[in-house]
Amino acid sequence: MWKSSLNASSSGPITAIIKCTGPPSTTTVTRRHFHDYFVTHLPSSSLHPDARGPPGLHHKLPRDKASPHEPHGKDRAPATPAHSVGASRELTVVRIPLKNAKHHFGASWSRGQRPYNEDAYQAGTIEIPAFARRRPLSLQRNAKPDVVGGESASGDPQVFYFGVFDGHGGSECSEYLREQLHLYIERGAESFELKSTLKRKEGEITRYGQSSLGKKEGEDTQKETVKSPAVEEVTEVKEPESGDTVRPPTGTKDETPPPKSSDSIAQSSNIRNAEELERKLVQGWKDLVGGYFRRFKPEFFSITAGGQGHILEKEVLASKTMSYSKSFGDDNEGIGIETVLEYSFLQADLDFVSAQVNKDETDAKKSDSAINANEILGQPSRLGQQIGGPKRFKGGSTCSIALISTPTPMPYWNPASPATLITAHVGDTRILLCDTATGQAVPTTSNHHPNHPKEAERMRRYAATFVTDSFGEERVQGLANTRSFGDMASKRIGVSAEPEVTRIDLSPAQFAFMVLVSDGVSGTLSDQEIIDIVKEAKTPEQGAKDVVAFATEVSTEGDNATAMVVRFGGWERRSEGGVGSLGTKELRDWKRNEASDPRTRRR
């Protein structure tokens, strides 16, 4: 099935590819540990009152040298109050571990009935330029000082990173993504020379004139903030009737499309550098795997590099071909964060597959090596440069990550803070939003299964065949997903790691919270059930535990279950929209009763 270049004996081309596409450095000198914390200014309520200094004299002079202040004296300066002792409230910056901030974030997992857990998750901040939209000028003038969060090392507001990874066939690939994927994104942003969307050069000329903070942009931004991708109707789910053979809805069977992605923002104008990077990556896939990758066109890559086009690249080429006048200028063609995410996903997958192909299972020398040969001296818990373990790993992992950027240092969970959410998704893990106004679940991802129309069209275009199992589910060479990391045996027929990227501009308090779940949860519960369970919790941490506990209790498959709950600005009003959490209460009670009844033989 694999080409001759994938054979372990022909190490020439493989070695060349691995050398040019090596993973991020993990040495003790250059490795930067993941920032699983966020930086913020300590609120005034968390500090002691202003330090007034010790009672008595402040000049620290002997009493016999001191004399009362004379306002009309000629040889005395006016008395000045002593400075407060200690740091100012406005300068007090602290690091708060995100996993310990129970009122802002919660995560929980369970191995179910499996012998071990193959899921993984990650949460923290990453060092990339901000990609949020600038606020209108009307909202920036005369703004009242708020308690704001800290900034990143680059001076931009922090970019938060959340990810859930569902491994299959083992945990090697999911653990690799947990430890390395954010490094690929950071390196990709640096390689593509991304700039912050919040910084503007003096006298910058845009399509709206001399300053893009003019009236027109302000009106457009305010119009966009009132849009909501949620369904306005309340969906009531009732318990099945007795004797009904129809199975309750689940998230893996949900075909609700994600909301339409917002317009991308150009963050880099170095088109030639981007095209060269993209061309090398596409050629690497062609040389290593071939098959599907000889004809695939990445969605956010340049047309000249074999993709579908950068931001506004198609419009610019069409205008030049038709000899239209340049109304917008060449600055509108550029590279956005979407291109970096797709490049990072494909590069990480290429490195993982290359490493597995390069492992020769028949090498007698490697088979006789010590089991601790790859350990680092003094740090036995860490391994050296070895992707996927000492043996060839033939499994894979799905992935869903969410990046949140704000236009100001005010954190995204503040009810008055707008933000921009970007999700990158591969497989059947899910990311859900809870609309504050309606209480409805808003999925930002779709399940990459063979029965999905878009995936079926993509796979059949390259002569991929689907097989239906005894349960009536379509599969690709035994896989339920058409996109994933790893799965080296299925790469040639199109099981790629091309991410589905969605950008959503969040208005202040538009959404109450965000949930990231693996298929162990979405395969048992519907999207609305997951949202309603979190609504009844007091904190995001309790919500994540309740979701995993309920999914494990009523599950018939016992798969690994992982859930992450992230608080947004509308958290305090999470139960006000629609009917609160009552829409799915009957169905959840029925599932719990069925699971606890031994006569149903569900356990």
pLDDT of 584 strictly over 90: yes
According to DSSP, residue 206 is labeled: B
Q: State residue 92's pLDDT score.
A: 73
pLDDT of 366 strictly over 90: no
Q: Is the Cα dihedral 310, 315, 317, 318 positive or negative?
A: positive
Q: Are 498 and 413 in contact, with CB atoms under 8 Å apart?
A: no
Q: State residue 213's pLDDT score.
A: 41
DSSP H/E element including 400: strand 396-405
DSSP H/E element including 186: helix 172-191
Q: State residue 155's pLDDT score.
A: 72
How confident is the prediction for the chain on average, in pLDDT?
Answer: 78
Please tell me the least confidently modeled range out of 137-151, 258-272, 317-331, 513-527: 317-331
Alpha-carbon Rg for the chain, nearest whole angstrom, is 28
Q: State residue 487's pLDDT score.
A: 92
pLDDT of 395 strictly over 80: yes
E strand map for 12-137: 37-41, 93-97, 105-110, 119-126
Q: Give dist(CA 110, CA 468) in Å, integer.
A: 30
Length of the chain: 603
Q: State residue 211's pLDDT score.
A: 44
Neighbours of 212 (CB within 10 A): 16
Closest CA relative to residue 167, chosen from 603, 478, 560, 480? 560
Choose the most confident range, by mean pLDDT, from 84-88, 276-280, 391-395: 276-280
Q: State residue 21's pLDDT score.
A: 46
What's the CA dihedral at 365, 369, 375, 380 to 10 degrees?
170
According to DSSP, residue 334 is labeled: B
Q: Are 148 and 597 in contact, with CB atoms under 8 Å apart?
A: no
For 111-132, the pLDDT digits (tens) are 888 888 999 999 999 999 999 9
Q: Are 192 and 277 in contact, with CB atoms under 8 Å apart?
A: yes
**Residue 221 CA to its chain's centroid (Å):** 24
Q: State residue 47's pLDDT score.
A: 46
pLDDT of 26 strictly over 50: no
Q: State residue 23's pLDDT score.
A: 52
Higher pLDDT pick, 289 / 211: 289
Q: Are 536 and 550 in contact, with CB atoms under 8 Å apart?
A: no
SS3 (DSSP) at 554: helix
Q: State residue 475's pLDDT score.
A: 77
Q: State residue 262's pLDDT score.
A: 84
Q: Are 300 and 307 in contact, with CB atoms under 8 Å apart?
A: yes
Q: Are 134 and 197 in contact, with CB atoms under 8 Å apart?
A: yes
Q: Give dist(CA 161, CA 401) in Å, integer.
A: 7
pLDDT of 387 strictly over 70: yes
Please tell me the least confidently modeled range out of 31-45, 167-181, 200-214, 438-452: 200-214
Structure tokens at 562: 């992982």
Structure tokens at 189: 């942003």
Q: Give dist(CA 420, CA 265) in Å, integer.
A: 11
Q: State residue 452's pLDDT score.
A: 85
Please tell me the least confidently modeled range out of 25-34, 289-298, 457-466, 561-570: 25-34
Under the banding of pLDDT at 50, 70 and 90, the label for residue 39 is confident
Q: State residue 359's pLDDT score.
A: 84
Q: Are 256 and 447 in contact, with CB atoms under 8 Å apart?
A: no
What's the CA dihedral at 13, 16, 20, 23 to 10 degrees?
80
Looking at the DSSP bridge assignments, the partners of residue 126 are 159
Q: Are 560 and 109 in contact, with CB atoms under 8 Å apart?
A: yes
According to DSSP, residue 425 is labeled: E
SS3 (DSSP) at 174: helix
Quick one: 539 exposed, middle or buried, by C-beta within 10 A (0-12, 13-18, 19+)?
A: middle
Higher pLDDT pick, 26 / 175: 175
Q: Are 410 and 565 in contact, with CB atoms under 8 Å apart?
A: no
Closest CA relative to residue 252, chosen from 74, 448, 441? 448
- Which amino acid appears at position 57 of this protein? L
Under the banding of pLDDT at 50, 70 and 90, the label for residue 1 is very low
Q: Are 140 and 105 in contact, with CB atoms under 8 Å apart?
A: no
According to DSSP, residue 261 is labeled: P
Q: State residue 379's pLDDT score.
A: 62
Under the banding of pLDDT at 50, 70 and 90, the label for residue 63 is low
Please tell me the least confidently modeled range out of 158-172, 210-224, 299-313, 347-361: 210-224
pLDDT of 43 strictly over 90: no
For 226-256, the pLDDT digits (tens) are 444 444 454 555 555 555 555 566 756 666 7
Q: Give dist(CA 592, CA 571) in Å, integer.
A: 27
The angle that helices 11-20 and 271-288 make with each other, rounded to 10 degrees, is 150
According to DSSP, residue 577 is labeled: S
Place of tokens 């060349």: 16
Cα–Cα distances in Å, from 166 out to 102, 349, 425, 516? 23, 15, 12, 11
Q: Are 513 and 534 in contact, with CB atoms under 8 Å apart?
A: yes
Closest CA relative to residue 357, chosen from 118, 17, 24? 17
DSSP state letters, 117-146 = --EEEEEEEE-----PPPPPGGGTTTPPP-
- Which amino acid appears at position 361 of this protein? E
pLDDT of 204 strictly over 80: no
Q: Give dist(CA 39, CA 159) in Å, integer.
A: 11
Q: State residue 137's pLDDT score.
A: 60
Cβ neighbors of 601 (< 8 A, separation 6 or more) are: none
Choose the most confident range, by mean pLDDT, from 23-37, 137-151, 435-449, 465-479: 435-449
Place of tokens 């910056």: 93
Q: Give dist(CA 130, CA 512) in Å, integer.
A: 22
Q: Give the chain's domains with CATH numbers.
A: 4-38+94-201+221-359+386-448+483-600 (3.60.40.10)
| Average pLDDT for 431-444 | 96
Could you tell me what percent of the chain has a pLDDT over 70?
64
Q: Give dist(CA 176, CA 193) in Å, integer.
A: 25
